Structure 1
Amino acid sequence: VWPEHWWGLCREIGDRIARLLGGRPGTVQIQPNASVALGVVASCFDFGEGQRRRIITSALDFPTTGYVWEAQRRLGAEVVIIPSEDGITTPLEPILDSIDENTLLVALSHVSYRSSHRLDPRPIVERARGVGAMVLLDVYQSAGVLELDADGWGVDFMIGGTIKWLCGGPACGYLYVRPDLLSRLEPRLTGWFAHAEPFAFDHGPMRYDATARRFAQGTTNVPALYSCRDGLRILLEVGLETIASESRRRGSWIVERALERGWRVNSPLSPDERGGAVMIAVDRPGEVAERLRRRRVLADWRPGVGLRFGPHFFNTDDEVREAMDLLAALTA
Structure 2
Amino acid sequence: MTDALLPWRAEFPILETCTYLVSHSLGAMPREARTQATRFLDAWDTRGVRAWSEGWWQTSRETGDMLAPLLGVPAGSVTMVQNVSVAQSVIVSGLDFTGPRRRIVTPRLDFPTNHYVFEGWRRHGADVVYVESPDGLTQPAEAWRPLIDDRTALVCCSLVLFRSSSITDVAPILERARAVGAPVVLDVYQATGTIPLNLTALGVEFAVGGSVKWLCGGPGAGYLYVRPDVAATLAPAATGWAAHARPFDFETGAIVYADGGERFASGTPNVAAWTIAQAGYRIVNAIGVGAIRDKSLRQTRRILEHARARGWRLRTPDEDARRGGTVTIDVPDSARVAADLIARDVIIDHRPNAGIRMAPHFYTTDEEIDHALAVMDEVTANHR
| Correspondence 1:285-324 to 2 at 5 A | 285-324=334-373
Residue in structure 2 matched with residue 26 of structure 1 by the alignment: 76
Runs of 4+ in 1 over 4 A off after TM superposition: none
* TM superposition score normalised by structure 2: 0.84
| 1:5 is the counterpart of 2:5 | no
Deviations 1:196-236 (A, max 9, x none): 01111111431000111111110111111122111100000
Q: Distance in 2 between matches of 1:297 and 1:220?
A: 36
Q: How far 1:85 moved relative to its partner?
A: 2.1
Q: Residue 194 of structure 1 contacts residue 208 of structure 1 at CA under 8 Å; is this kept in 2? A: yes
When Rg is computed on C-alpha atoms for both structures, the one with the higher figure is 2
Q: Residue 251 of structure 1 contacts residue 271 of structure 1 at CA under 8 Å; is this kept in 2? A: no
Compare relative contact order (CA 8 Å, sep 6+) and give the higher one, 1 or 2: 2
| Correspondence 1:246-257 to 2 at 5 A | 246-257=295-306
Q: Distance in 1 between matches of 2:215 and 2:294?
A: 16
288-297 or 35-44: bigger deviation: 288-297
Q: Distance in 2 between matches of 1:316 and 1:74?
A: 50
Deviations 1:100-122 (A, max 9, x none): 11111110111111111111222
Residue in structure 2 matched with residue 178 of structure 1 by the alignment: 227
Q: How far 1:287 moved relative to its partner?
A: 2.6
Q: Distance in 2 between matches of 1:271 and 1:51?
A: 41
Partner letter of residue 139 of structure 1?
V
Q: Residue 158 of structure 2 contacts residue 187 of structure 2 at CA under 8 Å; is this kept in 1? A: yes
Q: How far 1:194 moved relative to its partner?
A: 0.2
Q: Residue 277 of structure 1 contacts residue 308 of structure 1 at CA under 8 Å; is this kept in 2? A: yes
* Equivalenced residues, count: 331
Where structure 2 has 5 or more consecutive residues not aligned to the other structure, the ranges are 1-50
2:128 match: secondary structure:
strand
Q: Residue 57 of structure 1 contacts residue 106 of structure 1 at CA under 8 Å; is this kept in 2? A: yes
Q: Residue 57 of structure 2 contacts residue 269 of structure 2 at CA under 8 Å; is this kept in 1? A: no
C-alpha distance 220-285 of structure 1, shift in aligned 2 (>3 A): farther
Q: How far 1:282 moved relative to its partner?
A: 2.0
Residue in structure 1 matched with residue 332 of structure 2 by the alignment: 283
Residue in structure 1 matched with residue 190 of structure 2 by the alignment: 141
RMSD, matched Cα: 1.1
* TM superposition score normalised by structure 1: 0.97
| Correspondence 1:1-332 to 2 at 5 A | 1-48=51-98, 50-332=99-381
Where structure 1 has 5 or more consecutive residues not aligned to the other structure, the ranges are none
Q: How far 1:293 moved relative to its partner?
A: 2.0
Q: Residue 247 of structure 1 contacts residue 276 of structure 1 at CA under 8 Å; is this kept in 2? A: yes
85-94 or 292-301: bigger deviation: 292-301
289-298 or 93-102: bigger deviation: 289-298
Deviations 1:280-319 (A, max 9, x none): 0023333322322232221011012110011111111111
